[in-house]
Structure 1
C-alpha cells in the first residue's frame, strides 16, 4: 500500500515527534473550520510532547516577526520589477533559502541592511529576457544562475519555495490560531488545491506586473499535481502571449547539459 513520507518516518522512529497535518484541497467556510481544528490539534500535540505552553501572546509576537520578514521580501521583489533590477534571480533564491534556515529576527536584520546596501550601490543586473519560474519546489540557486548566464533574467517565480512561501501576511486579530489557519489555507495555492482558476489568475497577474517575456516550468518526476495541471496553465499563458518552456527535472535539479541546451534554444526562439 502507498505510504506517506511521514508514515515511514514515524514507523522507523527517525524522530520522537511526528504530526500529520491534513489540509483540505478546497477553499470554503467548512474547509477553514476543518483546517483550524487541525492546527489547534498540532498546537496541543506540541504542548504535550515538549511540555511547553504556546500562548496567544507568543504567537502574536511570532506573527509580527514573520510578517516583517514577508514585508522585507516583498520590498526585494518590488526592486525586481525595475527594467534593470539591482539583484539577480539566483541571488534572490539564496535569500529565500536563508529566510527558511536562519532565526527570523536575525534574517530581518540582515535584510534591512541588504536593502540599504542595494539602494546605495546603484547596482544593475542585466538580461535579455524577463523570466518567471514555476513548477515543483526549487531551492537550487545554481539552476537559476545557469539560466541567467544564458541571457535570461529571472525576475519572479511561482514556487512553493518562493512566492507562495512569503506572499501573504497573517492578519492581526484576537485569535492567532484562526488567523494563522486562514493564512496558510488561503495562501497563494499550489496545484494540490482545487479549483485552479484563482491560481491561474494570480500567475497571469504576476506576468503583467513583472512584464514577463517567458515562463520556464520545471517539473520534478512523479510530481503528479504539477504534471496534471501544467497543460491547463500552459494554455492560459500561451493564450496571453507568454511562451512556455517545460523541463522534466530530477529532484536535485542540476543544470545539466541537456537542460542548458533546451533553455538556450528556447531563449534564442524568443528573438
Structure 2
C-alpha cells in the first residue's frame, strides 16, 4: 500500500499552480472561479459547483493590457489574462462580486472579450451594519441561485445550502486550527496551508488540513526569539513575502488578508433558515475596505490582532493600484501609531523583483529586533 502524500507538500503544491491541477482532471463545468472573499462559497457549493479563487501568481499576461488601463492592479490584469489565453476555459462560470471598482468593471469586460463565458455578479450591500442589509442580501443570494439554475441548470435547495454551510464551517475551523499552530510552521508554509483553502475542494482541504494539524500538534514549537510580524492587506498570491520573512529571521504570528484569516469568523452555524445564516455570516465577517462598517474599522481590528497574537510589528502589503486598501491604510496606520505598534507599508505587484522588498523587510526586522 502506498503511503499517503505529505499534506503540507500537497498544500504547498496547489499554491504554486497557476490553476489547480484538480480542475483539469475534474469533469468540465464542475468548478466556478471567484475573485473575492465576499463570494458566497457555500451557495456555489450547494449548487453542485466547486468554487476556486482566481489569482495572479506570476507576471500578468500582456494580453490584458489592451483591455485595462495601466493603473489597474496586477490581480485583475492577471485574471483577465488567464481568461483571454484560455487557461480558465474549463470553468463552468466565474462569479465577480461587486467589491472594488476594478472587479466591477472586470465583469463587463469579461463578457465582451470572452462572450462564451458565463459571468455572474452579486451586488452585496456596502453598508454592512445597516438594519436593512441582511434582508437585502438574502434576496440577492436567492436571485443568484435562480440565475445559476436558469443558466447552468444548477439547483440550490434549503437542504443542500444547509449542508454546504456546515461543510464550510469545517473548512474555517480547520484554518483556525492551523492558524493557532503557526509556531510550528515557517511563514511560507503557514501562508500555503491557509491560502490553499481557496484553491481546493472543501472536503479535500479539510482532510489535508486536519492531517497536517494533527501532525503539528505533536511537534515542538520553533524557537520564539525571532521578531514577530502580523501581515495585513488584500491578497498575497505569491510566497515571496513570507519566504523572505523566513530567510531574514522573522516569524509571522497572524494575518488579516483576503486569502488568509480575515473571513474565518464567524461560522454560519446551524439555522432553521440557511439563507439568513449565509447572509448574516457575510455581513458579520471582518469587513474589507470596500465595505462601510464604522464600528469595525481596520485600524482597531489590527490593534486587537497585534495584542492577541503578540506581534511586534505590522507589515501592510499593498498591491499596487489597489485604491480601497491604499485609502484605508492611512487611518489604520494612525490607529497603530496610537497603539505604539511599529509598521511597514510594502507596495508590491505580481511578478515584481525581490530586492527592494528584501531590503525594506530586513531593515524593519532589524528595527524590531533592536527594540526588544
Secondary structure of residue in 2 paired with 1:74: helix
Give distance in 1, aligned partners of 2:141 and 2:118. 16
- The answer for the alignment partner of 1:179 in structure 2 is 277
Give distance in 2, aligned partners of 1:125 and 1:209. 19
Give distance in 1, aligned partners of 2:224 and 2:248. 12
2:309 corresponds, among 203, 210, 225, to: 210
2:300 corresponds, among 201, 207, 215, to: 201
Report whether the alignment pairs 1:6 with 2:107: yes
What is the CA distance between 1:158 and its match in structure 2?
Answer: 0.7
Structure 2 gaps of 5+ residues are: 1-68, 70-100
- The answer for the alignment partner of 1:114 in structure 2 is 212
What is the CA distance between 1:71 and its match in structure 2?
Answer: 0.8
Give distance in 1, aligned partners of 2:141 and 2:276. 9
Residues 269 and 52 of structure 1, relative CA distance in 2, 3 Å threshold: closer
- The answer for the alignment partner of 1:164 in structure 2 is 262
Aligned-pair Cα RMSD in Å: 2.0
Residues 125 and 204 of structure 1, relative CA distance in 2, 3 Å threshold: same
1:232 corresponds, among 316, 331, 353, to: 331
What is the CA distance between 1:53 and its match in structure 2?
Answer: 2.0
What is the CA distance between 1:166 and its match in structure 2?
Answer: 2.3
Structure 1 gaps of 5+ residues are: none
- The answer for the alignment partner of 1:247 in structure 2 is 346
Report whether the alignment pairs 1:24 with 2:24: no
Report whether the alignment pairs 1:34 with 2:133: no
- Whether contact under 8 Å (1:36, 1:181) holds in the other structure is yes
CA deviations on 1:50-94 (whole Å, 9 max, x unpaired) are: 2232111111111111101111111122223xxxx1112211111
Give distance in 2, aligned partners of 1:269 and 1:187. 33
Report whether the alignment pairs 1:75 with 2:177: yes
Residues 141 and 44 of structure 1, relative CA distance in 2, 3 Å threshold: same
Give distance in 2, aligned partners of 1:8 and 1:119. 47
Count of aligned residue pairs for this structure pair = 266
* Stretches (4+) displaced over 6 A: none
What is the CA distance between 1:254 and its match in structure 2?
Answer: 4.3
Under a length normalisation based on structure 1, what TM-score does the superposition of the two structures give? 0.91
Report whether the alignment pairs 1:221 with 2:320: yes
- Whether contact under 8 Å (1:72, 1:112) holds in the other structure is yes
Under a length normalisation based on structure 2, what TM-score does the superposition of the two structures give? 0.67
2:234 corresponds, among 117, 132, 136, to: 136
